[in-house]
Amino acid sequence: MKLVTCCSFKGGAGKTTALMGLCSALTSKGKRVALFEADENRPLTKWKRNALSRDAWDPSCEIFVAEELPLLEAAYGQAEAEGFDYALADTHGGSSELNNTIIASSQFLIVPTMLTPIDVDEALATFRYIMELLLSENLVVPAVILRQRVPVGRLTASQRSMLDMLAELPLVDKPMYERDAFATMKDRGMLHLNIRNTAGNAAMRLGLRNLATAMEELNELGRFVDDALER
């Protein structure tokens, strides 16, 4: 089982959205995915509840509460014993022994950020913290920055400046763009199942095209993570 973790010390940076998108990409390819919920606000549990109400939850994915170290250890052992292909961990804000354990146990780390000075500063601080932690534990775990909510059209001068700053660090090849399909995943469930449920509705033809574009971008994220883990 491969453990991939989304890390951010700042709330609202997009780590849960990134995790939901990656989960959808992996389960759509037939992978079994365990979600480790270390965030005490339980955003993934709420996501599943909303998804079930819309028939947009894939049963090959399961959520494990992991907001305390013993719960994390139990969740990891159970998910591994049940043969899940991936575990995706959603950390809580700030530094803690729990977050440190998740980071040090991961095979791949994703630090999401939006293109505002505050968000980028927090992403850089998180990235620096991760590197220092891994160095202190004599571990080598690849970590990348995922640019979130990037406008599809023209960028502002500030956004271009933030992109230039992030270019000095390892990046996911392509960003998650600012799309309604990503913004509404928390309410509507897994994106690939939203596409399935919408496919038979002729009135939703344009919306379906937009969903398909967003899903292909998530599939590219999934391929990027897979390739990184293989390397």
Which pLDDT band holds residue 209 (cuts at 50, 70, 90)? confident
Give this prediction's pTM. 0.92
Where do the structural domains in the chain lie, given as residue ranges? 2-230
Does the pLDDT value for residue 153 go beyond 90? no
Residue 174 above 70 pLDDT? Answer: yes
pLDDT > 90? residue 40: no
**pLDDT above 70 (res 20):** yes
Could you tell me the fold of the domain covering 2-230? Answer: Rossmann fold (3.40.50)
Helix (H) or strand (E) holding 96: none
pLDDT (average), residues 125-131: 94
DSSP notation for 16-31: HHHHHHHHHHHHHTT-
Question: Residue 94: pLDDT above 90?
Answer: no
pLDDT at 15 over 70: yes
Residue 81: both structure tokens together: 């014993």
Quick check: 93 and 40 in contact, CB under 8 A? no
More confident residue, 17 or 14: 17
Residue 102: which pLDDT band, with cuts at 50, 70 and 90? very high
| CA Rg value for the chain | 17
Q: Where are the alpha helices (DSSP H) in 116-190?
A: 117-136, 157-166, 180-183, 185-188
pLDDT for res 203: 61
- Number of other residues whose CB lies within 10 A of the CB of residue 120: 22
The pLDDT value recorded for residue 125 is 93
Q: Do 6 and 19 meet the contact criterion of CB atoms below 8 Å apart?
A: yes
Mean pLDDT (whole number) for 117-131: 93
What local confidence, expressed as pLDDT, does residue 202 receive?
A: 62
- Does the pLDDT of residue 25 top 90, yes or no? yes
